[in-house]
Amino acid sequence: MKKAETKIGRLGIGFAAICLLGAAALSAGAAPDIPHGFDWDGEKIFNRYNETPLSAMTGNDGTRNLNSFYGLRQYPGSPPRIPHAIPPAFADEPYNCISCHGRGGYVAELQAYAPVTPHPENEACFQCHVPRRAEELFVETDWQSINPPALGRSQLGGSPPTIPHPLQLREDCIACHAGPAAVAEIRVEHASRGNCRQCHVPLIVTEPVKEFAR
Amino acid sequence: MTMKLDRRSFIKSAAATSAIATAASLFPGISFAGWEKLEDAAGMITWHKAPCRFCGTGCGVLVGVSGERAVAVKGDPNCSVNKGLCCVKGYHSVQALYGKDRITRAKVRKNGEMVEVPITEALDLIAAKMKETISSHGKDSVAVYGSGQWTIPDGYVASKLFKGCIGTNNVEANARLCMASAVTGFMTSFGIDEPMGCYEDIEHANVFVTWGNNMAEMHPVLFSRMLAARKRNGDVEIIDFATRTTRTSQAADKSILFKPQTDLAVANAICHEIIRNNWVNRDFVNKHVSFRKGLTNIGYGVEDHFQFQDKPEGINFAEFETFLKDYTPERVEKISGVSARDIRYLASLYGDPKKKVTSFWCMGMNQHTRGTWINNLVYNIHLLVGKISTPGNSPFSLTGQPSACGTVREVGTLTHKLPHGVVMNEHDRQMAAEIWNVPVENIDPKPTYHTVEMFRALDRGDIRFIWIQVTNPMVTMPKLKRYRDGALKEDRFIVVSDVYPTPTTDVADVILPAAMWIEQEGMFGNSERRTQHFDEIVPPPGEAMSDTWQLIEVARRLGYEKQFPWSRDEYIGKIWEEYRRFHDSPKHNMAPYEVLRARPGVQWPFVNGRETRWRFNPKYDPACTSGEDFHFYGHKDNRAWIWARPYEPAAESPDQEYNFWLNTGRVVEHWHTGSMTRRVPVLHNAMPSSYVEINPDDAAELGVVNGDMVKIISRRGEVAMPASINGRGVPPRGMVFVPFFDESYLINEVTLDAFCPISKQPDYKKCAVRLEKA
Ligand code: SF4
């Protein structure tokens, strides 16, 4: 990431144009005029599915992995910090982020595919995601957190793993789990099925397991 | 500062307590799950084919077995239904075998207490009780109530024992509650049951209209097949036509909401527009269609002993056109809430000669007090434009249960049916008597009770003994209290064969432990006329035995050894070959036993070694003999029938006092009453309890937020349950929706036992309730 952080400063606004796909609204696709925001915004999956070419769901450059993924976070589920430098002009123009992170695509300057955000409708990106402008801490911290969820949380050998994380702000499975920028270990090969939650259902690792009893 | 990945500093969490879980997080990419490991398991798995235990889609699964335990599932890549894919229920289905409270021993009620007994003692008691009941109250005082989850042999021996040997038509199955209107729809429109098309229609269609059918949750594998076809072919549209907004609406290209019951009016308006715009396929209609009308104002069956017999009358095209005059889009907009524009749009999709259209439906159209009619009306649309029986042009009635088609519709486990034909028909009775080796006089020519009336008869005391297999009516009967109270009356003897304790085993006098699914050999039949064989893959626990064998044991104790002579190691094959004789014609031929064993499902008619994918089309269907481009051979006039069927209101609609519609149904995680899926940890955790979906504006008016308890009150009863706002689905204002899988919130205390007078199938989608903050 060092390379990225030094390079991007020189990119400026031209950055957006290089992305494979533009900043078109992600709400196109699903049936218009239906209520929104129910079933954990389930329509996001279908919208993403409709507008992502099959090829973009299947490629993988393999550079992002869980180590770098958690390396940007303070605990499982925390908003990742921004690993690359940001031109000052971006500060009040959220669509500059969305132009690459809305749909992903290859960024030549960074020699990387941009990860896709599962919640492009939240446009005040810097409200949660901040860059790192200093390496040194103010004072050392004794911060600890829990384990990230184990991989492969299948109930049976070969059965579809459950969703270990809450769906809040992570409603769009395809954004993170498919395509070239997906984290290698959690990338799926079969995003072309479309209806993700017909096989994968939440079993949140930080919540107690419920036992069925009559 | 980043998250520390030093393992010593991790706070112990549930996920991190085991060494395996920790190792898994340190070595990402390696799969370590938290299940208990089989002792002595060498890690070797053998794979065996079976149809999925749950929905009527009928996915082929491969069950992984280690030792004597089922340990894994994968989709069967050789099965054309699902091509190697499943849904979350299918993938975890084998876990449903291993709930800790599995019933493994027989129990009988002694002095009010259920006590474990050897299964032979329970079987003796059942036979004795049946004899005693018949001798004191007559043969029509004993009944069997089975299921669309019965295997084909289960249903076949039940019918043979009760109709052929005992001589009572008291044979019903829960498929009456889910498929009866589909059957009467087929019989009235085509004269022969079950879809003309097959799932391959999905790859050919340009337009899908889902009529009150939330396929994303109820037929998930077919739904993703549809999504994949849309993605691949491009020129594909999915129209969700429903009374509430669901996951299917989210994925659809267009979602159209109609007011409950008004699908009747909209379907007629679509026909009106097709005729007005001259989109009728005249050639097809002239050659292959004739027109009928039936009785109107046909009632709702809420009273005991309700009788109805339709009187079909021939009409002509002009009369049909006149009938449709009342159904202009503008007028229907007022009834249905669907804009005239949307009605015209729907008509234009069906009418466009360049588009291939597939209509899908299931419970929305079948659980409907005019269920037969709405089935007829959707066929009308397809028939007017000739979009039927060709790849992609398909009015497609889906089923909910794995063998509603195989066991209930094909074997005929309904009061009026025989494996071939109906009890009212002398030839059909003769055929049955001959194959069953019983005197023809044994078979009573008069049907007795359909399901709702059967439970009313139990309440009244006309039925004194009932044997319930593979179903849970004490959760699923509408207007539940009456039927539970009836079952609990003195002098009623209830036998329940099941795999887990349920509210139905709670009312039993005898509980028989049943083999479940792959613990027995059997066959299912899915929605597309596909018969699917499975072996006994793992042994049943304890004294559990197949429902078929339980029936055979009792039949022998009643003196019918001659009719049930088979040995336990070959009875399924023998029963299949006997049953197959009923369907010995190119219209219905079934595959031989050996073929079924070898393949992951075979479609009937199976003629000269070939499956029939599209019926009534001579290119695919060898039963077509007319020499024309289509042959609708079900009716004597060799035509499909278009029916003039009006819009009539629901049995009970919201009013001043009860001002909400109540709609009930399912969710993707649970199947039916949840007696199996709730014992699958991942499914229970994903959907631990039921709820009432309320429109956000109604919720605000009531002053309830997510999770608040809400009382749902009808004229029959009430139930209090947590509110769900913007949860899985969103009902429109004035409607609430409740999934029925949860026995701790028995929504059927509230529902109404009104049914379609033709099919006798109750309407679980419409009754009037009011809400109170609890
Ligand atoms: S779609 Fe139906 S048949 Fe297929 S796996 Fe799911 S529950 Fe089983």
Question: Taking the C-alpha atoms of B89, B94, B98 and B102 in order, what is their torsion angle to the nearest 10 degrees?
Answer: 80
Looking at the structure of chain B, the number of domains it has is 4
Q: Are residues B16 and B44 in the same domain?
A: yes
Atom of ligand 1 nearest to the CA of B51: 3
Per the domain annotation, does B760 fall within a domain?
no
**Alpha carbon A8 to chain centroid distance?**
20
Of B48, B64, B98, which residue is a domain's last? Answer: B98
Per the domain annotation, does B303 fall within a domain?
yes
Per the domain annotation, does B237 fall within a domain?
yes
Q: Which of B2, B3, B506 would best serve as a mutation to test chain A binding (most A beta carbons within 10 A)?
A: B3
Q: Tell me which of B55, B87, B226, B363 is the catalytic residue.
A: B363
Placement of tokens 């999925």 in the chain: B52
Measuring from atom 6 of ligand 1, which residue has the nearest CA?
A: B87
Q: Are residues B207 and B306 in the same domain?
A: yes
Q: How much is the pLDDT for B476?
A: 98
Question: How far away, in angstroms, is B57 Cα from ligand 1 center?
Answer: 6
Q: Are residues B40 and B110 in the same domain?
A: no
Q: Are residues B342 and B407 in the same domain?
A: no
Residues 400-419 of B with CB under 8 A from A: none
Q: Are residues B438 and B532 in the same domain?
A: yes
A/B interface, count of CB pairs below 8 Å = 223
Report d(CA B5, CA B176) in Å as an integer. 58
Asked if residue B515 lies in contact with residue B545, where contact means CB atoms within 8 angstroms, the answer is yes
Task: Place B558 in a pLDDT band, splitting at 50, 70 and 90.
Answer: very high
Of B77, B98, B119, which residue is a domain's last? Answer: B98
- Geometric angle at alpha carbon A10, from A9 and A11, rounded to 5°: 95
Per the domain annotation, does B153 fall within a domain?
yes
User: Exposure of B703 by Cβ count < 10 A (0-12 exposed, 13-18 middle, 19+ buried)?
Assistant: exposed
Per the domain annotation, does B636 fall within a domain?
no
Question: Taking the C-alpha atoms of B123, B129, B131 and B137 in order, what is their torsion angle to the nearest 10 degrees?
Answer: -150
Q: Are residues B299 and B278 in the same domain?
A: yes
Asked if residue B729 lies in contact with residue B696, where contact means CB atoms within 8 angstroms, the answer is no
Return the structure tokens found at A94.
Answer: 């959220």
What is the extent of the structural domain holding B130?
106-178+403-559
Mean pLDDT of A51-74: 85
Per the domain annotation, does B580 fall within a domain?
no
Q: How much is the pLDDT for B577?
A: 97
Please list, in sequence order, all residues whose beta carbon lies within 8 angstroms of the beta carbon of residue B365, skipping any fewer than 6 positions away.
B181, B182, B211, B212, B213, B263, B371, B374, B375, B378, B397
pLDDT per residue over B601-656, tens digit each? 999 999 999 999 999 999 999 999 999 999 999 999 999 999 999 999 999 999 99
Return the structure tokens found at B51.
Answer: 């149809």
**Residue B34 sits in a domain of what CATH number?**
3.30.200.210
Mean pLDDT of A149-166: 87
Q: Are residues B320 and B441 in the same domain?
A: no
Looking at the complex, does the CB of residue A63 fall below 8 Å from at least one CB of chain B? no
Mean pLDDT of B387-399: 98
Which phi-psi region, left, alpha or beta, contains residue A77 (left: φ > 0; alpha: ψ -120 to 50)? Answer: left
Q: Are residues B547 and B469 in the same domain?
A: yes
Give the residue from chain B lying closest to A75, CA to CA.
B3
- Residue A150 reports pLDDT greater than 70: yes
ipTM of the complex: 0.73
Measured between beta carbons, the chain A residues lying within 8 angstroms of B729 are 38-39
Asked if residue B516 lies in contact with residue B54, where contact means CB atoms within 8 angstroms, the answer is no
CB contact under 8 A, B16 and A50: no
Report d(CA B523, CA B548) in Å as an integer. 12
Question: How far away, in angstroms, is B83 Cα from ligand 1 center?
Answer: 12
Of B501, B533, B559, which residue is a domain's last? Answer: B559
Return the structure tokens found at B591.
Answer: 């595959």
Per the domain annotation, does B595 fall within a domain?
no
Q: Are residues B151 and B57 in the same domain?
A: no
Looking at the complex, does the CB of residue A69 fall below 8 Å from at least one CB of chain B? no
Q: Are residues B50 and B75 in the same domain?
A: yes
Q: Which of B25, B28, B252 sits opposite A31 (nearest CB)?
A: B252
In chain A, what percentage of residues exceed pLDDT 70?
82
Report d(CA B774, CA B763) in Å as an integer. 27
- Is the peptide bond between B732 and the residue preceding it cis, with omega within 30 degrees of 0? no
Q: Are residues B408 and B545 in the same domain?
A: yes
* Full-model pTM: 0.90
Task: Place A30 in a pLDDT band, splitting at 50, 70 and 90.
Answer: low
- Residue B33 reports pLDDT greater than 80: no
Q: Are residues B227 and B371 in the same domain?
A: yes
Atom of ligand 1 nearest to the CA of B55: 2
Task: Place B26 in a pLDDT band, splitting at 50, 70 and 90.
Answer: very low
Per the domain annotation, does B633 fall within a domain?
no
Looking at the complex, does the CB of residue B339 fall below 8 Å from at least one CB of chain A? no
| Closest by CA position to B189, among listed B560, B598, B632 | B632
In chain B, what percentage of residues exceed pLDDT 70?
94
Please list, in sequence order, all residues whose beta carbon lies within 8 angstroms of the beta carbon of residue B552, skipping any fewer than 6 positions away.
B157, B564, B566, B571
Atom of ligand 1 nearest to the CA of B61: 5
Measuring from atom 2 of ligand 1, which residue has the nearest CA?
A: B55
